[in-house]
Amino acid sequence: MRKTVLWLSLVVCAPGLFAAYDSALAPYPWRKSGFDPRVEELLGKLETRAAKCAGFSATVTWAADPGVALDLDRQKYGPLSLKSGLNWHLPNGAGFWPQGAVTIEAVGRTFAIHKAEDESSPADWWYREGEHIYARAWSVDWPTVWRFHHDALEADILAYCEGLGLLFWAADPGEYLRRGDRLAIGEDRLVNGKAMKTLVATPAWIASPLFLENRTTFPFNHSTMLSWAVYRPVVTYFIDPESDTIAGAEFVYHDCLRDNPKDWTTVARPSGLAVTCLAESVAELDGGVLFPTRITGEVTADGKVLRRTVFQMAFGPAPAAVAAAPLPADKRMIDPWPFYRSEVFVEMTARGEVNYANLLGLARAFAFEKRVTEARNCLLQTVAEIEADTTLSNDTGGGIDWELGFALHEYFRWAPDADIAALWNNLPATALWRAIVTRGLELYRRFEPAAKERIEALQDLFNQTFLEGIVVERTVLLLEIRKADLLWRAEQAEAAGLTTRADELRAQAESVAASLR
């Protein structure tokens, strides 16, 4: 990736632009500093108490009763999704996992969680390395490696909110609490009959409402902010003033509303969904650090308990180190949710983290931020490197048409004619680029129907670049098959009572029909 590294060195000093498109407002992944002196004093006590902890290992058994059926959609997050459990295989007939066991090893901010094979499901693992979290289900079983944003923890990934977070806060509280956008001292709370100090972490989108442009034609016809903001809760940490430890926490989730049908300011309103966790008993490990040995976590909706989980811990010797995650070397890495601003990718690459997730993410961010020249250069160079990379498996390019198709949608929307020509003059007529441009044109046609002249001009360029020497009838046949498949799936969805999904599939079929026309 030498060429890309050289090119990125020219971009690193580019001024950071705070884009007005929603997905660019995703939170930064790293720690923050410089909080109010009272907050720093409280954090300092917590960090001093945990300073002797070199790491920990524990066997965690858990049991859920009652339990609510999990949402199995791979795109879904939050306390009611499959990702909130300590098992990402499909649950049994109960719709949730009533019990299980995992082992945890943690040193510093790195951790590994392993679940052994049992009668109900095969083995599983999850790792945190650097700023991201990796899972067996979304690396070994998937054609790409999904790197989960650190803030997915506060979306209750891996039962973090329901209890496991207490283990990590005991070992390294600053690493996790200092990622809060806004930290403030809250009012004292009575928890299990004991007065607790509180530290309240408020997401920036709630503390400082955002002003955004209206995007009625944004891909998916919905603000992607709703896909992540609703899972960034207000967190209240309960701090025991006698032991200077975190005894529990409350996570309150909010709906993201808009105050205007045109350009709008975000409005946060509690959704009724909340998660609490409390340490019921603690033990002092070697070094004098207190760790919880029994934790109770509850997921509630409007005060009704949906799921109650009890965790019990048995601790072993602290590991000297945590082995690296067994990530496949022949797969590219992607960010499934949420996206970062361009300056986040620039900083990551400046640190030496030059990988396809950062490079493709940077190209996509540039496009959404209307930085068309940078977007074009990054798109051309990164796709060229992927095509030339002989170490990648054949199927790891799957889905890249969607990832970069949205970037092209934005590029087509904002780029002047001269920049459109500059892209096309350097566009190789490869199979990968054909898939990407096909998707970009489909999205542009679907969400920008008023841009008829540009759509026609782009279609002509596409035909000249990708269809010369190819039998057009074959393309038509493939599109007909695609349309028929979408309509059949729509019928199946409607028969299953999934009306919204059926409408989405019919809309996709109509988009394919437009391509045919």
What sections of 93-239 are H helices per DSSP? 165-171, 173-177, 204-207, 225-228
In the beta sheet, which residues pair with residue 315?
58
Give the pLDDT of the chain (517 residues) as one tens digit per residue: 544 544 444 443 333 323 334 444 566 778 888 899 999 999 999 999 999 999 999 999 999 999 999 999 888 899 999 999 999 998 888 899 999 999 999 999 999 999 999 888 889 999 999 989 999 999 999 999 999 999 899 999 999 999 999 999 999 999 999 999 899 999 999 998 899 999 999 998 899 887 777 665 544 434 566 778 889 999 999 999 999 999 999 999 999 888 887 777 888 999 999 999 999 999 999 778 999 999 999 999 999 999 999 999 999 999 999 999 999 999 999 988 777 888 889 999 898 888 999 999 999 889 988 899 999 999 999 999 999 999 999 888 888 998 899 899 989 999 999 999 999 999 998 889 999 999 999 999 988 899 999 999 999 999 988 886 555 666 777 788 888 888 988 888 888 888 888 888 898 888 888 877 7
Largest CA distance in the chain: 78
CA distance 176 to 154: 10
Half-sphere exposure of 382 (CA within 13 A, CB side): 25
User: What structural domains and CATH numbers belong to the chain?
Assistant: 2-13+341-470 (no CATH), 22-316 (2.50.20.10)
Place of tokens 């990796």: 134
Peptide linkage before 338 cis (omega within 30 of 0):
yes
Q: How far apart are the first and last CA of the chain?
A: 41
Asked if residue 311 lies in contact with residue 163, where contact means CB atoms within 8 angstroms, the answer is: yes
The one-letter code for the residue type at 220 is F
DSSP string, 322-387: -PPP---TTS-EE--S-PPPHHHHHHHHHTT---HHHHHHHHHHHHHTT-HHHHHHHHHHHHHHHH
Q: What is the DSSP letter of 73?
A: -
Strands 264-284 and 148-149: unpaired
DSSP string, 417-467: HHHHHHHHHT----HHHHHHHHHHHHHHHHH-TT-HHHHHHHHHHHHHHHS
Going by C-alpha positions, the residue among 368, 348, 441, 360 that lies closest to residue 396 is: 360
